[in-house]
């Protein structure tokens, strides 16, 4: 499935499955050495595969989908011909199945895979290499990283599992293996090297920081681990660049340090991943900005706005500061900063290196989650342009979840099909600011405005994608 078209190439999410050999404590850290003779070149990866392959699984997800008349996707036809035009409201349902891979990362049967492999699934089954199959429950889904954690429904045994490596130690040129189920042909092993680290302009998920490899990865490999020569997981394979849809030697994996954060949240019983919150808006450093701030090269993340009372504000960050490192790790752009910052452990502090006034200095930022407040979610039912909107009170936590810059007000969570709200064009993530010049501070304000505006229409101001939009709606 293509996520974003490139120049004559596609970024393909591997919704069939990829598995990679994993690690055992006995393998420890292997030294990096070049082959010393032709005989050493012929050495085999078989011992690593033999130890790690038992913990690599195939995942089959099933969900019900409805065959719809394509004309019913057009609001015009739904409005004027009704929801049952052309059978649009009563299409026949059928089962759609996706195939992916995963790795067992805990002896209790905890499995990590890609979120897009199991998204929307009503049933998930996991097949082990020994032909046994288990039903699995979804423990945690994290669309922002495209990761999900499953648990095998069997508490009677200890399963083989893989350990994680420190992906920050990975170097370009390191050998890696991928084991998975490409195209559903069965468990397959490929090898290659780390082609690049810290790829941040890929466009797969919210957190853009990927390990690139030339190990052959194909549809069906999604969610499988990329492993090092010590048999440890260094990443979870998630996508490829391809002109044909098959492997062309450019694959991407989510770094193990990000995966560990999601798995730890699942082990802790959380239904969502908790991450540190900076409370500042960042922008990439362009050549013009680098010249303006007297930087040696266009790298770093410029602070363009600081939220009041946030960790960034308490640390003394100011608009115009350029963040160049997190705990000594260089930051090339905001995506790299997000990875370095959000993979820090909550509860402590972290040191940021910043450029201010042409001089480098250090600030210490508290690692804490964004504050939450009662969301008071409601669905508007009154006859109005808002009928069908599911809305909530916006907070820093919800703004972080939805990747919004504004941290208060009323935000759209969902728009019901065939409702007035959908007809007039409301979208998820819209922030409703005012109705008839009255500011909306909470969801109850919108509910009241929806009921009161019928006699004079509704003058609405919303924020969408950082732009303020005004509109007038009648009955």
| pLDDT at residue 260 is higher than 60 | yes
The number of beta carbons lying within 10 Å of the beta carbon of residue 284 is 17
Whether 146 is a known active-site residue: answer: yes
Q: What CATH number should be reported for the domain holding residue 5? A: 2.40.10.120
In a domain, 36, yes or no: no
Q: What is the pLDDT of residue 465?
A: 84
Residues 160 and 82 in one domain: yes
Query: In terms of residue numbers, what domain contains 388?
Result: 378-473
pLDDT of residue 243: 65
285 shares a domain with 261: no
Structurally, how many domains does the chain consist of? 3
Among candidate residues 58, 101, 146, 195, the one labeled active-site is 146
pTM recorded for the entire structure:
0.79
- 222 included as an active-site residue: yes
Q: What is the pLDDT of residues 295-346, one digit of tens each?
A: 888 999 999 999 989 999 999 999 999 999 999 999 999 999 999 999 999 9
Is the Cβ–Cβ distance between 223 and 150 less than 8 Å?
no
Ranking 86-100, 154-168, 170-184, 392-406 by mean pLDDT, the lowest is: 86-100
- CA-nearest of 30, 402, 370 to 234 is 30
Query: 166: helix, coil or strand?
Result: coil
Among candidate residues 15, 58, 98, 116, the one labeled active-site is 116
Bridge-based pairing state of the strands 467-473 and 458-464? antiparallel
Do 338 and 214 belong to one domain? no
The pLDDT, as a whole number, for residue 25 is 45
- From 273, 290, 305, give the residue that closes a domain: 273
Whether residue 298 lies inside any domain: the answer is: yes
Instruction: Examine the domain organization and report whether 394 and 322 are in the same domain.
Output: no
175 shares a domain with 231: yes
Evaluate if residue 21 carries a pLDDT over 90.
no
For residues 250 and 311, membership in a common domain is answered with: no
Instruction: Name the active-site residue from 195, 222, 265, 310.
Output: 222
> Do 401 and 468 fall within a single domain?
yes
Predicted pLDDT at 400 = 85
Predicted confidence (pLDDT) at residue 84 exceeds the cutoff of 60: no
- Is 372 within a domain? no
Q: Are residues 220 and 269 in the same domain?
A: yes
- In angstroms, rounded to a whole number, what is the distance separating the alpha carbons of residues 421 and 410? 15
């Amino acid at each position: 499935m293509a996520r974003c078209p490139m120049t004559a190439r596609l970024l393909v999410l591997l919704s069939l499955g990829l598995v990679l050999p994993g690690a055992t404590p006995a393998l420890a850290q292997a030294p990096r050495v070049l082959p010393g003779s032709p005989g050493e070149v012929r050495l085999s990866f078989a011992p690593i595969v033999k130890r790690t392959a038992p913990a690599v699984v195939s995942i089959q997800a099933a969900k019900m989908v409805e065959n719809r008349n394509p004309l019913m996707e057009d609001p015009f036809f739904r409005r004027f011909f009704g929801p049952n035009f052309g059978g649009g409201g009563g299409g026949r349902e059928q089962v759609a199945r996706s195939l992916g891979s995963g790795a067992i990362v805990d002896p209790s049967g905890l499995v990590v895979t890609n979120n897009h492999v199991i998204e929307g699934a009503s049933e998930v089954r996991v097949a082990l290499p020994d032909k046994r199959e288990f039903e699995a429950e979804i423990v945690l889904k994290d669309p922002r990283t495209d990761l999900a954690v499953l648990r095998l429904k069997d508490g009677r045994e200890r399963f083989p599992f893989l350990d994680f490596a420190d992906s920050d130690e990975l170097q370009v040129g390191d050998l890696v293996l991928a084991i998975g189920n490409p195209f559903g042909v069965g468990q397959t092993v490929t090898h290659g090297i780390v082609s690049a680290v810290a790829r941040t302009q890929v466009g797969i998920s919210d957190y853009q920081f990927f390990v690139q490899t030339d190990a052959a990865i194909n549809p069906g490999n999604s969610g499988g681990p990329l492993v090092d020569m010590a048999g440890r997981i260094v990443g979870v394979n998630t996508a490829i660049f391809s002109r044909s849809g098959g492997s062309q030697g450019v694959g991407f994996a989510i770094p193990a340090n990000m995966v560990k954060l999601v798995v730890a949240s699942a082990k802790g019983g959380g239904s969502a991943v908790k991450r540190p919150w900076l409370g500042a808006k960042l922008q990439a450093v362009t050549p013009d900005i680098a010249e303006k701030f007297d930087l040696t090269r266009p790298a770093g993340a410029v602070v363009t706005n600081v939220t009041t009372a946030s960790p960034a504000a308490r640390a003394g960050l100011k608009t115009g500061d350029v963040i160049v490192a997190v705990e000594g790790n260089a930051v090339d752009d905001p995506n790299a900063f997000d990875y370095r910052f959000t993979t820090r452990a909550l509860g402590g502090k972290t040191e940021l290196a910043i450029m201010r006034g042409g001089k480098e200095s250090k600030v210490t930022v508290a690692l804490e989650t964004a504050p939450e407040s009662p969301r008071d979610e409601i669905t508007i039912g009154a006859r109005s342009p808002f009928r069908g909107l599911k809305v909530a009170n916006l907070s820093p936590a919800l703004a972080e979840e939805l990747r919004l810059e504004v941290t208060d007000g009323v935000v759209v969570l969902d728009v019901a099909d065939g409702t007035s709200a959908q007809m007039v064009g409301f979208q998820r993530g819209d922030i409703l600011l005012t109705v008839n010049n009255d500011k909306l501070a909470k969801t109850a304000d919108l509910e009241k405005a929806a009921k009161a505006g019928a006699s004079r229409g509704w003058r609405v101001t919303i924020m969408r994608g950082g732009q303020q939009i005004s509109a007038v709606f009648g009955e």
